[in-house]
Structure 1
């Protein structure tokens, strides 16, 4: 049975693709590529942003 989670807006900086792998061009000893995994700074790797109503407001 599917679980229903509340709808949250997708991060507009990463479009929901919050983690990317970038190849450095080098290879490991077994032949696999060396990758750097980078997370979106805005959503910290969740792919979603907090709704405006929950955003911190103040002076």
Structure 2
């Protein structure tokens, strides 16, 4: 029996892919690539956003 899809709010800036690894082009001594992990600045690495109503309440 199919399960209902959860209604989670996905970040519109990163589309749910909140963390990315960017290669620097250099390699470590063991041969693996040196990478930087970058988090989405909009959702701060969560991949989800809060409803807009929560932001407007504090006005």
Distance in 1 separating the partners of 2:8 and 2:53: 12
**Structural RMSD (CA):** 1.3
How many positions carry a matched residue from both structures? 53
Q: Which has a greater percent of helix?
A: 2
> What TM-score do the two structures reach when normalised by structure 2?
0.81
TM-score with structure 1 setting the length: 0.81
Q: Is the 8 A contact 1:23 1:35 kept in 2?
A: yes
Could you tell me which runs of 5 or more consecutive residues in structure 1 were left unpaired when the two chains were aligned.
1-5
Gap runs ≥5 in structure 2: 1-5
